[in-house]
A and B are shown apart, each in its own frame.
Chain A
């Protein structure tokens, strides 16, 4: 089961920093996972309907909507970075 991590204001708004999710069989790519989270509605619905606000990493590398997700992946959602 993948771990989903949330950082910065995404975590604040969703009220959690991590969750473990059993992926339905039709969730094979980041795009599918974003749709699944969006369909929860509420804050999830608002955040995941605006992909320009959200960046994603799979196993600690930047990823895009077209990348695969697998059951043991670590998937993180966060805002564009502002370090330095």
Chain B
């Protein structure tokens, strides 16, 4: 049975519920590491509008999750990314990685997030309190984060 679950959705997610689904029927798991990304209200930001490339997004997210499963010998991996308009404080992304031991679970979550930021086709538009609207520019730091996982694709 596939233990990869990848979704793009406008609705909020429930990390506890997702964790329960990930663990159901498995006994060899000793650790679940979880990351939730939120809309951060820097510099007068009011909301983000998230756009994606339907089809390619899901296939890239699946490839990233498969890569994490193999690389860290995970028992399961859930990746949920929201799209649409999200106000400051709203959760954007959830990554859950389940493994026998904590170190691989932690590492796998970072791996998935680093690849998501650089390889999954999402784009963010910022909406500020003063009415300005602008597309978010990619950060060189994200590309550097990817480099620590070595060459090659997710």
- Using CB atoms and an 8 Å cutoff, list the residues of chain A in contact with chain B: 5, 7-9, 57, 60-62, 76, 78-84
Tally of chain B residues near chain A (CB < 8 A): 27
Chain A residues with Cβ under 8 A from B135's Cβ?
8-9, 79, 82
Cα distance, A80 to B137, chains bound together (Å): 8
Q: Tell me if B91 counts as interface (CB < 8 A to partner A).
A: no
Kindly state the separation between the CA atoms of A76 and B55 in the bound complex, as whole angstroms: 12
B interface with A by C-beta (< 8 Å): 37, 50-53, 55-56, 59, 81, 92-93, 113, 116-125, 135-138, 142
Task: Report the separation of the CA atoms of residues A5 and B135 in the bound assembly, to the nearest whole angstrom.
Answer: 18
Q: How far is the CA of A80 from the CA of B122 in the complex (A)?
A: 9
- Since A60-B55, A81-B119, A83-B116 are in contact, a sample of 19 more A-B pairs with Cβ atoms closer than 8 Å, ordered by chain A residue number, is A8-B135, A57-B56, A61-B56, A61-B59, A76-B56, A80-B138, A81-B117, A81-B122, A81-B123, A82-B135, A83-B50, A83-B52, A83-B81, A83-B120, A83-B123, A83-B124, A84-B37, A84-B93, A84-B120
